[in-house]
Structure 1
Amino acid sequence: MITFCLSVLALFLGYTFYARFVDRVFGIEPDRTTPALAQADGVDYVALPGWRIFLIQFLNIAGLGPIFGAVAGAMWGPVAFLWIVLGSIFAGGVHDYFSGMLSVRHRGESMPEISGYYLGNGVKQFMRYFSVVLMIVVGAVFIMGPAKILAGLTGFGGDNFWVWIIFVYYVVATVLPIDKVIGRIYPLFGFALLFMAVGILVMMFANRLPIPELTISNLANLHTQPAKFPVFPMLFVTIACGAISGFHATQSPMMARCLTSERQGRSIFYGAMVTEGVVALIWAAIGMSFYGSVGGLNDVMTQHQGNAAFVVNEISNSLLGKIGGALAILGVVAAPITSGDTAFRSARLIVADFLRYQQGPIQNRLLLSLPLFGAGFLLTLIDFAVIWRYFAWTNQTLATVVLWTITAYLIRERKPYWVGLVPAVFMTAVITAYLLVAPEGFGLPVTIAYLAGVGLAAVLLGYTWLYAERSRKSSTLVPQA
């Protein structure tokens, strides 16, 4: 329990001190006119109160990730706490903050366009298609998950009925102005999600559940993990939301179009990431303690074929009772739905950005949205078990590209580029090793995967250092777009 409490404290300290440092590195200009005011269109560029933007951002990035991912990550034991804390502060917070604030400085543009400014046209083209495909996959997955939960919870209509209900909502939320649906209902969903997390936290302490501690012995024995699922890199991909997730970089620019001052960036972008980290810590802790031990969690997850939904349902109903459990499950339903609708909305905005297609007229929004929904619907008809495993790697790959974009921006602006470089190098090693060692990847021995991951990270580190040195010595720099 001491490790858990210190982890929560560390997140708050990270927000208090490191987030302020990142804010200074970026160099906010509080009086600078934001896109929400300069480009107001009543649809996507809409000025909203800061608290409302925070809740939207938090729910956008949360989804099922900090719940299901944290429960699955808890199977590796208390080392999950360490990754959530360090990942949220030094990787996820930096990733989310800069992806939002760079969008503010670039007229609210999406991350693929911004990546192109700093990493070149090839990366921009890659990011355009990569991001849109990722958003369609996320949207489709966040249809099936909530539909199954609602069908089981209500006993009415069956999976297909709820799929169509959610689809109708997604279309409405994607096409209508952001303040008409999303801006109004997210606070309610936010209360449900927060009730779930706080309720679980209170009952975990009230029942004095045995939260394991992170010790030197734990860390020393990590090498005994099964070779098929080594803690590195598997843990760092399993726990994405709650530490760092590329999906967040598609959501931050959407909120960048609603800020009224750059001063709001730290609390909204970095703050939402830290809040998600706290939620992930709670679920990781309850996962390790509810069944008596990490071993008990592993037994249950193995018995139910890694189905974290079973664990979440059992924990919620056992600790919070039937009413509390139902409300908690609704929080689990609200989280993915509020990520699914904004995934499709983000896909529309990304396509509109690279086509330079105005989104004011509703027929323009429908024209771009309907093909995206068609693709999403087709994906709901197939088995997602394998696709979702590939999504995990794809998601972290997107996060890695964004971190390299941030690094290039900081070098160009002659700012402390290590803020982006350190997490970029680490995540490069993670995604390379994961692709080579994971069963759904190449399934190679860990030694080969580790050498390749560290090798590629070292090459990019060396190249970046040389590039930064040349930029520092150069008398002229390419101006920011």
Structure 2
Amino acid sequence: MFTFLGGIILLIIGYFTYGKFVEKVFGVKEARTTPAYTHKDDVDYLPMNTKKNSLIQLLNIAGVGPIFGPIMGALYGPVAFIWIVVGCIFAGAVHDYLTGMISIRNRGAHLPELAGKFLGKFMKHVVNAFAILLLLLVGTVFVTSPADLLYNLMDGWMGLGIILGVIFLYYVLATILPIDKIIGRFYPIFGLLLLISAVGVGVRLIWTGAPIPELTLQNMHPGHAPIFPLLFLTISCGALSGFHATQTPIISRTTEREGQGRKIFYGMMIAEGIIAMIWAAAAMSLFDGYSGLNDMLANGGPAGIVSKASTLMLGSVGGTLAILGVIILPITSGDTAFRSARMIIADYFNLSQRKIMSRLWIAIPMFVISFALTKIDFTLLWRYFSWANQSTAVIALWVGAMYLFIAKKNYWIAIIPGIFMTMATMTYIFNAGIGFGLSLNVSYVIGAVITVAITVIFFIAANKARAKEVPLEEDISGWNSVA
């Protein structure tokens, strides 16, 4: 219990200390007009207040990742708490803040465009492909997982196909309609369910004195699976997630002032970390140890654990509300995953999105592909999602490092987590069955060599970019103050 509570306290302290430090390093310009005003189109670009933006950002980034990931990561034992806390404060929240703020400085640009500007034109095409792949995987995963939960909650009286159809219909509307029509209007209600589920389970864990394992040298990692790199790919959302780099530009286009960025981007990642801590603790303590947890995962998957834990902690009524809150999480990330994909494709081909037919021409093929992907095994999809997700996070961290290097600011806040996750991701893809299937020791060596090479290439390119004085932000000289 002390490890669990201490981790949550550290996350909160991290927001007020390291979050403030990162904000100072970046250098907020309160007088600079944001894209919500300079590019206002009343579809994707329009100003919304901090409270609404924060809630939308939290729901955008907090899909099933900070629940399903920590539940599966709980098999590694209390060491999972370390990664959630340290990863969230020093990697995930930094990643989200830099991505959001650099986007604000560049007309709300998405990651492919930022990668093209700061890492070279070739990277724009690479990252564009990665981002679209990731978002389609996310959208698909976040269709199937809430559909399964709803199907179980209703004891199968509504067919799974019908549930999938209803969710897809909602996703189509959320993807093509102006952001304030559905997302901006209904997310506050969804947010209430999210808070009920997370806080309710967390309070009950504390109140009932659940046997949450403490972090000790003997108990740190009770399993046999290698912590590195598997833990850092299993628990992504809640610690560090490249998916967030695809979501923050949605809100960078609706942010009123740069000073709101720390609460919206850094703060909401901290909130997601707390959600991850709660579900990791629940998974570790409610199923008769790790063997019981492993059996539950084998029989019902993460969705089954969510249903069981919610009912155990909150009873039938409270458990149902908690499950609904968990169902909301992936839905409110799936809709913005498709919306983000639509925006990225539009930016890549320079297509105006003012007319609804222009949005439909992009959205419909995406949904056809996603529906086909729902026929693939969820576990396989999750493995590919984890790899694509953390690869995108690595790219976003290198973009942030390049921006800060050119600006002659403390780029180490992005480079250190960037190097670490580059090594983890490269090792994983060479070792994993979905990758090259090499031995772990060989994968370590190859991962290390590639990481060193990427780091050297970065510094060479960064010095050239600094010498060329690559512009860090869009010229808005015609705008002198916030409208």
Q: Secondary structure at the match of 1:415?
A: coil
Match of residue 449, structure 2, among 452, 455, 478: 455
Structure 1 residue identity aligned to 2:105:
R
Query: Which residue does 1:266 correspond to in 2?
Result: 262
In 1, the alpha carbon distance for the partners of 2:204 and 2:309 equals: 10
Give the corresponding residue for 1:326. Answer: 320
- Give the structure 2 partner of residue 304 of structure 1: 299
Corresponding position of 1:423:
417
Report the equivalent of 2:381: 387
1:469 deviates by 6.0
- The partner residue of 2:336 within 342, 346, 360 is 342
Map 1:68-467 → 2, pairs under 5 A:
68-154=68-154, 155-219=156-220, 222=221, 225-226=223-224, 229-301=225-297, 303-304=298-299, 307-465=301-459
Task: Please give the per-residue CA displacement for 1:54-101, whole angstroms capped at 9, x wherever unaligned.
Answer: 111101101101111111001000000000011101110111111111
Q: Is the 8 A contact 1:359 1:365 kept in 2?
A: yes
Query: What residue number does 1:35 align with?
Result: 35
Q: Distance in 2 between matches of 1:384 and 1:149?
A: 13
Q: Determine if contact 2:78/2:214 at 8 Å carries over to the other structure.
A: yes
Given that residues 431 and 439 in structure 2 are in contact (C-alpha distance below 8 angstroms), is that contact kept between their aligned partners in structure 1? yes
**8 Å CA contact retained: 2:75, 2:223:** no
CA distance in structure 2 between the partners assigned to 1:457 and 1:381 by the alignment: 35
Question: For the residues of structure 1 that align with 2:116 and 2:461, how far apart are their CA atoms?
Answer: 17
Q: SS state of the match for residue 192, structure 2? A: helix
SS of the aligned residue for 2:202 comes to helix
The normalised TM-score by structure 2 is: 0.94
Shift of 1:447: 1.2
> 2:148·2:303 contact (CA, 8 Å) conserved in 1?
no
User: In structure 2, how many angstroms separate the alpha carbons of the residues matched to 1:297 and 1:204?
Assistant: 16
Shift of 1:420: 0.7
Query: Which residue does the alignment assign to 1:478?
Result: 470
Aligned equivalents of 2:168, 2:390: Cα separation in 1? 27
One-letter amino acid matched to 2:100: G
C-alpha distance in 1 between matches for 2:459 and 2:252? 30
Letter in 2 for 1:269: F
Query: Cα offset for 1:454?
Result: 2.4
Query: Residue 460 of structure 1: CA displacement?
Result: 2.8
Letter in 2 for 1:126: V
How far does the alpha carbon of each residue in 1:345-404 deviate from its partner, in whole angstroms, 9 at most, with x for none? 001100111111111111111121111112112222333332321111111001111111
For the structure 1 residues 180 and 7, does the alpha-carbon distance in structure 2 shift closer, same or farther, using more than 3 Å as the test? same
Counterpart contact for 1:91–1:423, Cα < 8 Å: yes
| 2-structure distance, mates of 1:328, 1:14 | 27
* Separation (CA, whole Å) in 2 of partners of 1:287 and 1:377: 31
- Give the Cα–Cα distance (whole angstroms) in 2 for the partners of residues 388 and 211 of structure 1: 27
**3-state SS in 1 of match to 2:218:** helix
TM-score normalized by the length of structure 1: 0.95
Tell me how far apart the structure 2 counterparts of residues 145 and 4 of structure 1 sit (CA, whole Å).
27
Give CA-to-partner distance per residue, 1:291-328, whole Å, 9 cap, x none: 24334323433x427x1111111111111111111111
Once the two structures are superposed, residues 447-478 of structure 1 have per-residue CA deviations (whole angstroms, 9 ceiling, x without a partner) of 11222222322333344445556777x5x533
Please state if 1:22 is matched with 2:22: yes
2:478 maps to what in 1?
Answer: none
AA of the residue aligned to 1:258: T
Unpaired runs of 5+ in structure 2?
474-483
**Residue type of the partner of 1:460?**
I
CA distance in 1, matches of 2:61, 2:28: 23
CA distance in 1, matches of 2:457, 2:144: 43
What is residue 48 of structure 2 aligned with on the other side? 48
State the Cα distance separating 1:210 from its structure 2 match: 1.0
Q: Is the 8 A contact 2:104 2:249 kept in 1?
A: yes
Check the 8 A contact 1:225/1:231 in 2, yes or no. no
* One-letter identity of the residue aligned with 1:367: W
1:103 offset after TM fit, Å? Answer: 0.8
Q: Which 5+ residue runs of structure 1 have no aligned equivalent? A: none
Give the root-mean-square deviation of aligned CA atoms: 1.7
- For the 8 Å contact 2:75–2:294, the answer to whether it is kept is yes
Contact kept, 8 Å, 1:209 with 1:292, in 2: the verdict is no
Letter matched to residue 397 of structure 1 = S
Structure 2 counterpart of 1:53, one-letter code: N
Structure 1 CA distance for aligned equivalents of residues 364 and 13 of structure 2:
44
The answer to whether the Cα contact below 8 Å between 1:210 and 1:293 also exists between their aligned partners in 2 is: no
1:43/1:177 contact within 8 Å kept: yes
Which segment is superposed worse, 378-387 or 327-336?
378-387
Measured in 1, the distance between the counterparts of 2:398 and 2:15 equals 22
